[in-house]
Amino acid sequence: MVAPPDNDVLWARGLHYSYSGSPALTGVSIGVREGEILAVTGPRGSGKTTLLKCLSGQLLADPGEVWFNSAPVHTLSRGARERLRRERFGWIDSRPHLVPELTGWENAALPLLVRGTIHREAKRTATEWLERLDVGDCARKRPGALTQAQRQRVAIARALAADPTVVFADEPTAPLHQADRAQVLRTLTTAARSHQITVVLATLDEESTALADRTVTLVDGRRGGAIPAPDASEGEGRAACSVSA
Ligand SMILES: Nc1ncnc2c1ncn2[C@@H]1O[C@H](COP(=O)(O)OP(=O)(O)OP(=O)(O)O)[C@@H](O)[C@H]1O
What is the tens place of the pLDDT at every residue in 139-157? Answer: 999 999 999 889 999 999 9
- Spacing, Cα 50 to ligand 1 middle (Å): 7
Residue 236 lies in a domain: no
Residue 42 in contact with ligand 1 by CB distance below 6 A: yes
Q: What is the pLDDT of residues 33-74, one digit of tens each?
A: 999 999 999 999 999 999 999 999 999 999 999 999 989 999
Residue 203 in contact with ligand 1 by CB distance below 6 A: no
Residue 218 lies in a domain: yes
Residue 44 in contact with ligand 1 by CB distance below 6 A: yes
Q: How far is CA 174 from the centre of its chain?
A: 14
Kindly indicate whether the ipTM for this predicted assembly is greater than 0.90, answering yes or no. yes
Q: Find the domain containing 153 and state its range.
A: 8-228
Residue 240 lies in a domain: no
Nearest Cα residue to atom 18 of ligand 1? 47
Which CATH number covers residue 186? 3.40.50.300
Instruction: For helices 104-115 and 119-132, give the axis angle rounded to 10 degrees.
Output: 130
The structural domain count of the chain equals 1
CA distances from 23 to 18, 19, 62, 140 (A): 4, 6, 11, 45
Residue 108 lies in a domain: yes
Residue 239 lies in a domain: no
pLDDT confidence of residue 225: 58
CA atoms within 13 A on the CB side of 191: 25
Nearest Cα residue to atom 12 of ligand 1? 24
Confidence of residue 232 (pLDDT cuts 50, 70, 90): very low
Residue 45 in contact with ligand 1 by CB distance below 6 A: yes
